[in-house]
Amino acid sequence: MSHFTTILPTSFPAILPTTLAVTDAQTINAALLVSALLFTCGLIGFLTRRNMILMFLCTELMFQAAALAMIAFGRMHHDVSGQVFVIFILTIAAAEAALALGLVVLLYRRRETLDSEAWSELHESA
Amino acid sequence: MSSPPIATFTLLEAAVAVPPAFLLTIAVAVSAAGLALLMQPKHRALRVGGTIIGLAGLAMLFVEVLKRATVTGEEAGLPPVFPVIFGFLALAGAVRMITHPRPVFAALYFVLVVVAIAGMFLLLGAEFMAFAMVIVYAGAILITYMFVLMLAQQSPVAGIGEPVYDRMPREALSAIAVGFVILATLSEAYFSPTAQRFRNDSLTGSIVSGTQQAWARLGEMPKLLLQTARMVKPDVATVVEFDSKSATVTAKMTNGSTERFTLDEKMIPDNGRQVGVELVSKFPAGLEIAGVVLLMALFGAVILARKQIELGEDERRALAGMRRFTVDGEAGGASGDSRADASLIASDNGGSAR
């Protein structure tokens, strides 16, 4: 077992059987896979969703995927810098949510619809 | 004469023995096909089939990826249960989020994704970020989204249901094609044998250096270091020196003598302390900039959400001509016009008059 440390803290095995313990390499691989899949889901959602609020929600999904990849790679190097980057991602996500939602409310007031197709031809409102 | 048997043999071989290098791409393709079927809002049977195909593709992906993580010489244990459970939860939530016809439900499924990701963070040893994620994302950002959804959502029409832009996806097939290409590239980059070997090597070497880095971070926290040293020897007066390689403390005791002793691995500072020290010691500029970004977002949101004033043709022309308005003169003018003038000038003053 020299290659791997069990990822659960030392107080856990009392509750969980040790055979359920996972190797670090497997956890990191699974996290990277989930992160890649989530990012793709967010991308597909951003392209296919026509509701403007949900389009921005899909960008939040991509932020989540990036945060997961950061923490997985941080775990790989046993470096907490990855977690610090996630704090910054969280900041940007919060700022983006505030601004994007303000914009969406503004656009909704103009056209009375959340459909992004309503803005496919930009010109002054009649 | 002999060419047809050879051709059939190679065809058969290609069909039966898929080269392991393509397994990931095939699994990604299966998942993409499942998602494409899931995005057919009109046919329920197609969606059921899509769920099955998508789950099969995901299972293929997980099995293949976890198989690549095993290093030879490692005893075979049970399959890693928790990462797979959290991963499937997150992915199910994400797929439901991008396919659900009702936006409020989609936002709630995003909460499921956040919670599952927080579970992943716990497995990866990032306790602080796991809880911060749940509090900030599920507690703050999602609530903002819900507010705006409630504010701006059109109510479903009786008989038709949700508005058409929520029910029908736009260009689903080409979007999934783009996603397939990106995911195939990403999985090939993450899980190619070279990358996997690099990751395993780094992981093997980083256990020692990880402990050392944790000790080095403790060395940057004199107060906590003193507390930790006092856990070993209660009568430590001051810590003279701390060697992070061997975790050895040189301390001056209260009776004036000097002692050297080693700290136990259980005394490594916890995750929250480590993240905090890393944040303020390595990224102070980033921290400041994050504060400025948040402040600017606050200003931006306030300015965007301010009540807009519709300008008439006359006011626009007057504005372009840079002429000063008379606010409450012109008794002959229509009362509606003079009110518009007043509000226009008020908005010029930053809205303080309103």
Classify residue B122: in a domain, yes or no: yes
Q: Is B222 found in the same domain as B85? A: no
Total tally of structural domains belonging to chain B: 3
Domain that holds residue B253: 207-269
Looking at the domain assignment, is residue B222 inside a domain? yes
Q: How confident is the model at residue A126 (pLDDT cuts 50, 70, 90)?
A: low
Question: B345 lies in a domain?
Answer: no
Contact A90/B170, CB-based, under 8 Å? no
Residues 67-86 of A with CB under 8 A from B: 67-68, 71-72, 74-84, 86
Partners of residue A47 in chain B, C-beta under 8 Å? 170-171, 174-175, 178
Mark whether B56 and B81 lie in a shared domain: yes
Q: For position A18, what pLDDT does the model report?
A: 40
Q: How far apart are the first and last CA of chain A?
A: 71
B107 and B131 share a domain? yes
B179, B32 Cβ separation under 8 angstroms: yes
Instruction: State pTM to two decimals.
Output: 0.78
pLDDT of B332 over the 80 cut: no
Residues A103, B306 contacting (CB under 8 angstroms): no
What is the pLDDT at residue A77? 81
pLDDT for residue A3? 37
Chain B's closest residue to A91, CA to CA, is: B290
Cβ distance B35 to A60 less than 8 Å, yes or no, reads: no
Look at residue B332 and tell me if it is in a domain: no
Cβ separation A80–B275 shorter than 8 A: yes
What digits encode the pLDDT tens for the residues B59-85?
888 888 888 876 544 555 556 788 899
* Partner-chain contact A47 B170, CB within 8 Å: yes
Which CATH number belongs to the domain containing residue B143 in this structure? 1.20.120
DSSP codes joined into one string, B83-127: HHHHHHHHHHHHHHHHH-SSHHHHHHHHHHHHHHHHHHHHHTT-H
Report the candidate in B229, B94, B80 with the shortest Cα–Cα distance to residue A49. B94
Last-in-domain residue among B130, B160, B191: B191
Q: What is the mean pLDDT of residues A95-110?
A: 88
State the Cα–Cα distance between residues A58 and A42, nearest whole angstrom: 5
Q: What is the ipTM of this complex?
A: 0.82
Are residues B24 and B137 located together in one domain of the fold? yes
List the single best residue of B72, B78, B117, B173 to mutate versus A (max A Cβ within 10 A). Answer: B117
pLDDT digits (tens, 9 = 90+) for A6-51: 444 444 433 333 434 456 788 888 999 999 999 999 999 999 998 8
| Number of Cβ within a 10 Å radius of residue B127 | 17
Q: How far apart, in whole angstroms, are the C-alpha atoms of residue B10 and residue A44?
A: 37
Contacting residues of B for A101, CB less than 8 Å apart: 144-145, 148, 301
Phi, psi of B137, deg, nearest 5: -75, -60
Residues B130 and B264 in one domain: no
Residue B236: in which H helix or E strand, if any? strand B236-243
